[in-house]
Amino acid sequence: MSPELQLDSHGRLRHLLTLEGLDAGLLTEILDTAEEFDKTLRGPEKKLPLLRGRTIINLFFEPSTRTRTTFELAAKRLSADVLNLQMAASSTSKGETLFDTLKTLEAMQADMFVVRHEASGAAHFFAQHAAPGVSILNAGDGRHAHPTQGLLDLFTIRRYKSGAGRPGPDCFRKLRVAIVGDVLHSRVARSDIHGLRALGTTDIRVVAPPTLIPAGIEQMGVRVCHRIDEGLDGVDVVILLRLQKERMLGAYLPSMSEFHRDFGLTRKRIEALRRDAIIMHPGPINRGVEIEGDMAYGPQSLILQQVQHGIAVRMAVMAMILGPPQRRAADGRRGLRRARSAA
Ligand code: CP
């Protein structure tokens, strides 16, 4: 899968398929733009006219609560027209191919598709076949990538770990990050690692039993830990991953309770963390498995803030790709300010 497919000849986003290959400058531009949108979302007038007249279609072939609804809300906040195709009730259930589904919906003058699919590479397939001017946003493809989740995780980390004032370039470099749980099946882990590495984080530990660690993951620049206490030692950020039981065809674990005992974030383990360490989870949570049930929304948890940040981050990506040309990419934030003062 070629990461270059998502950039145009000027290095601007045309699609968003993966965080792999995106440099620190572009990632920072997206996060800065999201900060501006987040300010708007906290004010009385949450809607901006940036994507008026544009049509965005959500194609979710897998279930979703957070990603689908925040993409829809983000598009509506930008004044786009949004369609949610019910895939089980669509003609794909009669055998229509992904290619024909794409071409059929393009004929309705769609500008952007948000795609979630169980197959790694599905979003790339759409991007390869999309008409000029039509953009694809990957909302999660198999085990491969979940780039907007990666971005909202980076946004959350930057917001809570950059201290007072504007985040400096060292914000990510000094961090110690533990990614704990089902790394094997996790597109979130891959997107988080790509994003953190691009922004300079060098101390990233992936923490799981050997059966849930993909072969060769060290090549992504992470350290593998099979003991949770070693993995959590001194960390600033803990990113928990959901055990993806629906993708586990074999016996990856003796039992959920044994996983919780050996790799779950228990109250005792939370108490042993640094006082300023933050706890994240992309959701949905398996309560009592990845984290002790009544600690899920505890004082160090940012799980619900992650959901909230997803709206601003998705608005940023949509506006940078689909907004008026003067409002795209490096000009995104300035364009947003112009739109606000014109509104
Ligand atoms: N984080 C995430 O992708 O959640 P959903 O499956 O609810 O969209």
So what's the pLDDT on residue 327? 52
Convert the pLDDT of each residue in 109-132 to its tens digit.
Answer: 999 999 999 999 999 999 999 999
The reply to whether ligand 1 has any atom less than 6 angstroms from the CB of 282 is: yes
Percent of the chain residues topping a pLDDT of 70: 92
pLDDT of residue 163: 72
State which of 58, 61, 62, 67 you would mutate to test the pocket of ligand 1, scoring each by most atoms of that ligand within 8 A of its C-beta.
67
> Which atom from ligand 1 is nearest to the alpha carbon of 67?
8
Residue with the smallest CA separation from ligand 1 atom 4 is 66
- pLDDT for 306 beyond 70: yes
Lateral strand order in the sheet of 81-85? 81-85, 55-60, 112-117, 135-141
Which ligand 1 atom is the nearest neighbour of the CA of 62?
A: 6
* Cβ–Cβ < 8 Å for 310, 269: no
Please give the pLDDT value at position 88. Answer: 85
* Per-residue confidence (pLDDT) for residue 111, from 0 to 100: 98
Give 162's pLDDT tier (boundaries 50, 70, 90).
Answer: confident
Check if 65 has its Cβ closer than 6 Å to any atom of ligand 1. Answer: yes
Q: Report the percent of the chain where pLDDT is more than 90.
A: 84
Question: 170: how many CB neighbours lie within 10 A of its CB?
Answer: 10
Does 169 score more than 80 pLDDT?
A: no
Length of the chain equals 343
Gap between the terminal Cα atoms of the chain:
41
Q: Which of 64, 186, 239, 306 to mutate to test the pocket of ligand 1 (most atoms within 8 A of CB)?
A: 64
For residue 325, the CA-to-ligand 1 centroid distance in Å is 30
More confident residue, 86 or 329: 86
Question: Candidates 149, 155, 307, 309: which one to mutate for ligand 1, based on the most atoms within 8 Å of Cβ?
Answer: 149
Query: Above 90 in pLDDT, residue 266?
Result: yes
Residue 3, classed as helix, strand or coil, is helix
Residue 114 sits at the vertex; the CA angle it makes with 34 and 315, to the nearest 5 degrees, is 15
pTM to 2 decimal places: 0.93
Backbone angles phi, psi at 109, to 5 degrees: 65, 40
Ligand 1 site, residue 67, Cβ cutoff 6 A: yes
Residue 252, pLDDT score: 78
With a 6 Å cutoff on the Cβ, whether 332 touches ligand 1 is no
Q: Residue 328 pLDDT > 60, yes or no?
A: no
Spell out the domains of the chain, with CATH numbers in brackets.
2-144+307-342 (3.40.50.1370), 147-305 (3.40.50.1370)
Reply yes or no on whether the pLDDT at 335 is more than 50.
Answer: no
Report pLDDT digits (tens) over 83-103. 999 888 899 989 999 999 999
Name the more confident of 332 and 63. 63
Whether the per-residue pLDDT at 1 is higher than 80: the answer is no
Ligand 1 proximity of 109 Cβ (cutoff 6 Å): no
Please give the pLDDT value at position 331. 45
Residue with tokens 């990632």: 27
Q: Quick check: 114 and 83 in contact, CB under 8 A?
A: no
